[in-house]
Amino acid sequence: MVHNNNNRFRFFFHYSSLAKLTFWSFVFLALILVFFFKSPSSSSSSSSRVMTSSRPSMTSSLASDLYRRSLKTSSWGGPTWEKRVKSSARIRTRNGFCVLVTGASGFVGTHVSVALKRRGDGVLGLDNFNDYYEPSLKRARQALLERSGVYVVEGDINDVALLKKLFELVSFSHVMHLAAQAGVRYAMQNPSSYIHSNIAGFVSLLEICKNANPQPAIVWASSSSVYGLNTKVPFSEKDRTDQPASLYAATKKAGEEIAHTYNHIYGLSLTGLRFFTVYGPWGRPDMAYFFFTKDILKGKPIPIFEGANHGTVARDFTYIDDIVKGCLGALDTAEKSTGSGGKKRGPAQLRVFNLGNTSPVPVSDLVSILERLLKVKAKRMVMKLPRNGDVQFTHANISLAKREFGYKPTTDLQTGLKKFVRWYVSYYGSSKKSDQ
């Protein structure tokens, strides 16, 4: 990036006269003014509504998302950095794992990293800290990780040089791949970021893993959204997943197919986890339970969607601690990859599991629980479910995960939301402080 810019500048000064310089300076100034007055649009989708407060206006309106993201991923390397990487990844228990966690400062990433570290595994985090939602929350999670002894490398999974370096420094036994562009509706605003993270980024990571010696076993986050427009419930792993309702779902489904390829060609051990609406403390502000809480406290009306013919919209809400147990169970039962140095030596494990709660709750019940916990009456706005990616109903069949690693969720929505609200109020205060 920097290199390119230098070239461009050299070119510029070589070939331009003073007159040209003046002319282009005016054009540039005019462009800046135009951008400045058009200023960042606050669009109406729920995800961007939550984010507006954290947006640094000028730069984000000038640069595309990808450009902005790649700018941020440059600061790594050096002896101190290498020492921190190695120390964080050091295994502290007999037969412990050495795990690279991508998306470590994300919601699930933070909780999984802390749990692994606590039981003595070596854990190294990787996160690009993009501003899809308030980066300050990711920084706060990072601080929590630091206190647990987990170092989070700041970088992108598309940065091949960085990944190579990490695998040179550390011999990872496992990769917990949770980095992704999340959100269903945001895909209509920024489709390329889904391709960048969920497809290109995944392939970049798999390429490094397949060349590594030894190859790590990989557990990664797919999504319940791959069930798309299916109407047969509960959703079972064997059901069709060929009618995604959003680009997000399509990229996760693509990930499952790409996983199949890398398993087949290179002998990588791969386990995909289809998460069902994960919620809890340190959660994601773009999710309904989170911004409902925020808006109820602010006295703002909240949209409650209903399906055709006043059909109930329901979600199989899954509490974060249950998801963490599922992630650890998947890691613990993952077999070794069979290839080495880019060559397959034999068949390897390929799995997909639902991680849900098996009890769908109507979104209106979610709101009632929040009202009780917050002691504030919500202003409900009942609206038709827009056809922009959300599905009406999710319900996981979890018998496969139960059989394979004893997965058994134990937290109901009422109990889990109580913990979330307690965290929310202590983190933000009960007023509207939401972006610091």
Residues that bind ligand NAG (CB under 6 A): 234, 236, 397, 399-400
Q: For ligand NAG, give the closer residue by CB, 252 or 395.
A: 395
Return the C-alpha torsion angle 205, 206, 208, 209, nearest 10: 120
Q: For ligand NAG, give the closer residue by CB, 140 or 350.
A: 350
Distance CA(111)–CA(127), nearest Å, equals 14
| Cβ partners under 8 Å of residue 356, min gap 6 | 224, 235, 274, 275, 276, 277, 316, 318, 394, 395, 396, 398, 409
What SS3 class is residue 99?
strand
Q: For ligand NAG, give the closer residue by CB, 194 or 353.
A: 353
C-beta separation of 236 from 315 below 8 A: no
Q: For ligand NAG, give the closer residue by CB, 325 or 351.
A: 351
Q: How far is the CB of 318 from ligand NAG (least distance, A)?
A: 17
Q: How far is the CB of 358 from ligand NAG (least distance, A)?
A: 10
Burial 314-331 (b: 16+ CB within 10 A, else e): bbbbbbbbbbbbbbbbbb
- The residue assigned the tokens 């798309």 is 228
Q: How far is the CB of 174 from ligand NAG (least distance, A)?
A: 24
Q: What are phi and psi of 243, to 5 degrees?
A: -135, 65
Q: How far is the CB of 284 from ligand NAG (least distance, A)?
A: 28
C-beta neighbour count of 29 within 10 angstroms: 10
Q: For ligand NAG, give the closer residue by CB, 349 or 399.
A: 399
C-beta separation of 217 from 174 below 8 A: yes
C-beta separation of 114 from 191 below 8 A: no
Residues identified as active-site: 248
Cα torsion 34, 38, 40, 41: sign: negative
Q: Phi-psi bin for 177: left (phi > 0), alpha (psi -120 to 50), beta?
A: beta
Q: For ligand NAG, give the closer residue by CB, 263 or 354.
A: 354
Please report how many Cα atoms fall inside a 13 Å half-sphere around the Cα of residue 248, on the Cβ side: 23
Q: For ligand NAG, give the closer residue by CB, 105 or 394.
A: 394
* Token output for 82: 């290498």
Return the C-alpha torsion angle 417, 420, 422, 427, nearest 10: -160
C-beta separation of 183 from 47 below 8 A: yes
SS3 sequence of 322-340: HHHHHHHHHHHHCCCCCCE
Q: How far is the CB of 227 from ligand NAG (least distance, A)?
A: 12
Q: How far is the CB of 79 from ligand NAG (least distance, A)?
A: 50
Q: How far is the CB of 232 from ligand NAG (least distance, A)?
A: 8
Q: How far is the CB of 234 from ligand NAG (least distance, A)?
A: 5
The DSSP output letter for 186 is: G
Q: For ligand NAG, give the closer residue by CB, 333 or 397.
A: 397
Please tell me the chain's helix, strand, coil percentages from 3-state DSSP, rounded to the nearest 5: 50, 15, 35
